[in-house]
Amino acid sequence: MSATNLSYELHGAGPDVVFLHSFPLDRSMWKGQLVAAGAAGRRAVLIDLTGFGASPLPAGAAPSLDAMAHAVLDTLDAVGAARATLVGLSLGGYVALAVAALAPERVEALVLADTRAAADDPATRAGRMLNLALVRDRGAGALVDKMLPKLLAPDAPEALRAEVRALGAAQSREAVTFALLAMRDRPDRGDVAAALDVPALVLAGSRDEITPPREMRALAASMRRARFEELGGAGHLSSLERPAAFNAALEGFLRAGR
């Protein structure tokens, strides 16, 4: 289904849980979490962020996290979700915090996985510039190949590595470029995270090198009602690498909020 400009799918019934994917993937990365949302009596809303998956990239749109968050808010309107629990992994977490900045009243609870509230540091910004050139010259597949060693733990199964590679390589140059620019220029959202007065679960793969557990633990400590949990053995894409542990944490959190 599609609303406004984003493509989405709905599963189950109950209070809404909105899943926001990581970079450079799409909503299909969350299919393993449907069981947790269903078991907790929730309706799952899986969204392809701007330009990813089946969502178009509006012509001439200026890249920003706010633009991506506005499109998510339009999708919440389209599915009749006045408030929702947002589950965001990495880029999805940046978008969730951007939604919280724009419309805190729409956020019922928050799950932040393998992400950060801080803006890019200078080294990361410099890396974005290299990645922009790589995507321009060689496409999204070349970028995923470069990122893979940090996206997954070293002992991740070959089949998962291939799945992530295929998912990333299928995204358009334009969408990946848009998101790279949006991430590079995103503001610090530490104040937004600290001000949110809703239940939050902060999850980190114990072997995540992109958003390490110590940073995620500090993020949780800076929030008013957050609990931190480390997922043993997972790298950055913790929901894909350790779905059982991720789902147990997610389901417990969702059930507690009912």
Q: Is the dihedral of CA 132, 133, 139, 140 positive or negative?
A: negative
* Shortest distance (Å) from residue 229 CB to ligand MLT: 19
Q: Which is nearer to ligand MLT, 135 or 210 (CB)?
A: 210
Which residue's C-beta sits nearest to ligand MLT?
90
Q: What residues numbered 198-217 form the site for ligand MLT, per CB under 6 A?
A: 210
For helices 122-138 and 173-184, what crossing angle results, to 10°?
170
| Residue 52 lies near ligand MLT (rule: CB under 6 A) | no
| Helical axes 140-151 vs 122-138, angle rounded to 10° | 140
Does position 240 interact with ligand MLT (CB under 6 A)? The reply is no
Fill in the DSSP letter of residue 207.
T
Closest to 163 (Cα-Cα) out of 8, 19, 32? 32
Q: Does 183 contact ligand MLT by CB under 6 A?
A: yes
Q: Taking CB under 6 A as the rule, does residue 65 contact ligand MLT?
A: no
Cα gap 243→106, rounded to integer Å: 27
Identify residues 89-128 at the interface with ligand MLT (CB under 6 A): 90-91
The CB-of-86 to ligand MLT minimum distance in angstroms stands at 15
Q: Contacting ligand MLT (CB under 6 A), which of 23, 30, 52, 246?
A: 23
Tell me the closest approach of the beta carbon of residue 25 to ligand MLT, in angstroms.
Answer: 8
Q: Minimum distance between the CB of residue 62 and ligand MLT, rounded to whole angstroms?
A: 19
Task: With CB under 6 A as the rule, give the number of residues binding ligand MLT.
Answer: 7
Q: Which 8-state DSSP code applies to residue 11?
A: E
3-class secondary structure, 205: strand
**Smallest separation, CB 23 to ligand MLT (Å):** 3
Find the shortest distance in angstroms from Cβ 131 to ligand MLT.
Answer: 8
22 binds ligand MLT (CB under 6 A): yes
- Contact 45/84 with Cβ under 8 angstroms? yes
- Residue 40 or 113 having the CB closest to ligand MLT: 113
Distances (CA, A) of 253 to 34, 112, 185: 14, 12, 32
Rg (CA), the chain: 17
Q: How far is the CB of 172 from ligand MLT (least distance, A)?
A: 16
Quote the distance between the C-alpha of residue 39 and its chain's center. 21
Phi-psi map region of 80: left, alpha, beta (phi>0 left; psi -120 to 50 alpha)? left
Q: Which residues bind ligand MLT (CB under 6 A)?
A: 22-23, 90-91, 183, 210, 236
